[in-house]
Amino acid sequence: MVFNPATQEQRFVLDHVAAIGELAATETFAGASDDLIDAVLDGIGRQAAGEWAPLTRLGDTVGARWTPDGVTMPPGYRDAYQNYVAGGWGTIGVAEAHGGQGLPFVIQTAVLETLGTADLALALCPILTLGAIEALSHHGSTEQQAKYLPHLATGAWTGTMNLTESQAGSDVGALRTSAHPRGDGTYLITGSKIFISFGDHDLADNIIHLVLARTPGAPEGTRGISLFLVPKYRLAPDGTPGKPNDVRVASIEHKLGLHASPTCVLSFGDNGDCIGELIGPEGAGMRAMFTMMNNARLNVGLQGVQAAEAATQKAADYARERVQGYRGNSAVPIIEHPDVRRMLMRMKAQTQAARALVYYAAAQVDRANLGDQSARMRLGALTPLAKAHATDIGCEVGNLCIQVHGGMGYVEETGATQFFRDVRVAAIYEGTNGIQAADLVGRKLLLDQGATIQSLIDDMRSEAENSALVELINACETVTTRLLGAHDDDRLSASYPFLTMLATAICGWLMERQFRAADEPGCDPAFRSTKQATALFYLQQIVPEALGLMSAAMAPAEMLYAVPAEDF
């Protein structure tokens, strides 16, 4: 497979979905000129195609390896990552005050999309680092920011987030990791964490772990949790990595996919000598961690786009080359058969829709950072939609890639399964998609009694022209009204179908917007034709499917409990 960066598509979505021109017109983002955006997209495309994409198959087959001295990455990965650092790609969306370029988050999103499409596993490393930057930028002390952020911004040091423990799972409040004051403002950290992505590796000179732990006498549950900064190597007086900090990699997980992304079990303080620094006040750990998690959730949604784009390219390449069957009297490539065309069109339409949804949400980050409170509220509602729906799409498109390959898709040598295997966890981590749906109806909807979602519905209705899209938007409004007055169980039982309905409506709205924008002067004719055909497919075939979810979204919860637990 030859990797082709989706540069033209990205630029179109930045212009017509993210409205990057409006952001560039502000003083804060004045540096985001047309020439600079083009240079960024072209440059990262070349680096991804030349250095990251050739590694992805090796990463899948060789994978990261545990050793007693730490995790080693597959051959070529350190060089590729170090060239990413040297190119300054990690600094794109980081504030200038912290060593970054201060460009919009949505441009950083495009950079990460290209890298992750080339190698989904390796791109997870900078995603986590950006989350650590976000947490320290908002909650770290001035001294912590000065010591750590410039190195995290370049990617010379990487970051992790340490929430989950084996006995707690998604119930973070049940954690047991402890932090005991040492009397000098630092803490002794003791405990273990599981499922820590890039918890150890040999790509960078230091790893900065952000660890949730409980101090002595802290209340039970999430109110008693604090956040600590625990470097793999303590800093020497000159600020460089020095003595090891008693953080041990107990093991790495053997996973369905993402084999080049080491998922670690980390043990802190086995020798009683793991030192951490408190981030923010005691007991405010969840607030600080949610800053990191909300950033991560958008970037996990982006992983759905990455996997879908790569899978679509892989399937289309195979379908053009694989000759099987006849059209008339001639043997033809399978791309000429209607059912294969159906799958490829669906893959392309869903990928473009997911990209539009994630970029639209990412642009709300930038507008919120400019002080737009309505954008901040809209971002809150969009985050679970982008995370869940885009990763659902990534899984669907990865599955279709296997189907397009037929029997060869089930054979590992073709590499067709990797996209599905790699992206499958994205629907699980950073809060399962069911948790995202519960967040949508249990927190985001009720926070302002539906005003933010109603505002979004009103905006969609004001532009929508396609009849099926208008009907879906109206259905979303009807379900919204019902959920506002529903009991908790009924609201939660409706949450997933409602999330899919609303996300599909937003995607349809943004795809229809792109259809109109493709008619504007200057649009490349071939790009216009493909864009409009894809948008029409989405509106005519995918939007109507979401209407069928309305009955499930309106149904009471009692049907889900009709079968006793012991009878399942």
Sign of CA dihedral 320, 321, 323, 329: positive
Considering the candidates 51, 134, 165, 430, report the single residue annotated as catalytic. 430
SS3 502: helix
Could you tell me the two tokens for 11? 């630029």
Q: Which residues pair with 179 in a beta bridge?
A: 189
* 430 assigned to active site: yes
Rounded Cα distance between 140 and 123, Å, is: 25
Q: How many CB atoms lie within 10 A of CB 62?
A: 16
Contacts of 119 (CB under 8 A, 6+ apart): 48, 52, 53, 55, 56, 59, 260
- The answer to whether 269 and 190 have CB atoms below 8 angstroms apart is yes
**Looking up tokens 């949450």, which residue turns up?**
495
Q: Which residues pair with 323 in a beta bridge?
A: 333
Q: Which of 276, 76, 291, 102 is nearest to 177 (CA)?
A: 276
Q: Which residues of 295-319 are buried (b: 16+ CB within 10 A; e: fewer)?
A: bbbbbbbbbbbbbbbbbbbbbbebb
Rounded alpha-carbon distances, angstroms, from residue 185 to 20, 148, 284, 287, 535: 44, 17, 17, 21, 57
Could you tell me the two tokens for 518? 């493709």
Catalytic positions, written as ranges: 430
